[in-house]
Amino acid sequence: MKFKDYLKDRLLYIVFYIISTTLVIIVMFLDLIIRGEKLKYSNILYAYILSFLFLAIPITVDYMRKRKFYNIINNEADDYESLEYIFNIPNNISREHDIFKSLLIRDYMIYENTLEKYKKYSKTQIDFNNRWIHQMKTPISVIKLILENEKDKNIDINTKKSYESIEEEMDRLSKGLEMALYTLRINDFEQDFKVEKVDILDIVRIIINENKNAFIVNSIYPKIVSDEDIVETDKKWIKFIIGQIISNGIKYSKVKESKEKSIVIDLHSEDDKVILSIKDNGVGIPKQDLERVFNPFFTGENGRTYSESTGMGLYLSKDICGKLGHGIDIKSTEGIGTTVNIVFHRGKSIYNLKS
């Protein structure tokens, strides 16, 4: 609190002090008139000066005593990331300030206890969800294996199509569980990543192989074009990002009536960057939705039309890219297709800065 603000808070006391001084002078002046004596104006001025001096000294001394308190409240509070600055408030300034500090400390302790309770509750929920998701992945893998074995047997075409349909639904379920798992993990991202040199094409091939059934069933042909292969990133997180983008490409290409459906993965270098472009020739994204595709839970017109979107894939991809120091952008023309670019900055990383 600045001195002028301090004075504003005490303006009522100052005004009453001046009024009381003026009344005293008036009483003295009337007394002298009754006694037939004359009051000199210099004496009136002297009385006011003396009165103001006795007012200014205690106000200044009081402000100097409380200045440290005001500095901590107004300035240091903005520099702290927590509320622990409360304990730095000096003691014994006045009884009023001691009571104020006691109240702040009490409220802080209540806040800390409540926060700790919710942290424990949140951790329990996250641990349970993590464990449950991992447990669900096992039966899904077993069901997929059973379906693969059944498809190899001599069965009629209708049964085989049913197995393929079940397998496709199991893939969707598996991807949904994976997204839920990564959504939980992103809260502890700083403890769960490792930036290293990664062969990005190996990851792309693994993802294509994992989605081979979807590519085959929907007659979509993946194509890789590359003059680069090594980038600096986290292998696990970048696999999730590329998987989400390719999955979206499949999702919005299969619904388009076209005989030539493809997803082109192009890895190339530009100056000090390596760019991974994933391009599909699907239904594209409406122009009015483009600026919002990275918003959480935003599904847009396509999501409402085809009812397969959660609105979380691109949001998580954008968030993870930001944490890894990569760039990501999306370009699309409705009815023609969509291109997603992931930008890896060569030589410099926010986690491994080089001169």
Q: pLDDT tens digits, residue range 123-175?
A: 888 888 888 888 888 898 898 888 888 877 777 888 888 887 888 888 888 88
Q: Model confidence over 291-317: pLDDT tens digits?
A: 999 998 888 888 777 766 778 889 999
How confident is the prediction for the chain on average, in pLDDT? 85
Same domain? For 199 and 347 the reply is yes
Whole-prediction pTM: 0.68
Same domain? For 77 and 106 the reply is no
Same domain? For 203 and 299 the reply is yes
Structural domain for 121, as ranges: 94-192
Domain boundary among the residues 164, 192, 220 is at: 192
pLDDT at 202 over 90: yes
Same domain? For 224 and 106 the reply is no
pLDDT at 15 over 80: yes
**Strand pairing class (337-345; 327-333):** antiparallel
Rounded Cα gap, residues 165 and 148, in angstroms: 12
User: 37: Cβ–Cβ under 8 A, 6 or more apart, which residues?
Assistant: none
Confidence at residue 347, expressed as pLDDT on a 0 to 100 scale: 66
Same domain? For 282 and 327 the reply is yes
Tell me the angle at which helices 41-71 and 11-34 cross, rounded to the nearest 10 degrees.
Answer: 160
Confidence at residue 354, expressed as pLDDT on a 0 to 100 scale: 40
Same domain? For 58 and 188 the reply is no
Same domain? For 165 and 82 the reply is no
Same domain? For 170 and 270 the reply is no
65 or 248: whose pLDDT is higher?
Answer: 248
AA letter at 67: R
Whether the CB-CB separation of 108 and 86 falls below 8 Å is answered with: yes
Same domain? For 317 and 204 the reply is yes
Same domain? For 86 and 160 the reply is no
Mean pLDDT of 254-270: 89
Domain boundary among the residues 28, 60, 91 is at: 91
Same domain? For 24 and 35 the reply is yes
Q: What is the DSSP string of 312-333?
A: -HHHHHHHHHHHHT-EEEEEEE
> What DSSP designation does 349 have?
B
Domain boundary among the residues 192, 211, 226 is at: 192
Same domain? For 141 and 257 the reply is no
Rounded Cα gap, residues 219 and 259, in angstroms: 8
pLDDT at 87 over 60: yes
Structural domain count, the chain: 3
Mean pLDDT of 235-247: 94
> What CATH number has the domain bearing residue 331?
3.30.565.10
Rounded Cα gap, residues 203 and 240, in angstroms: 10
Question: Which of 217, 240, 220 has its CA nearest to residue 166?
Answer: 217
Mean pLDDT of 199-226: 91
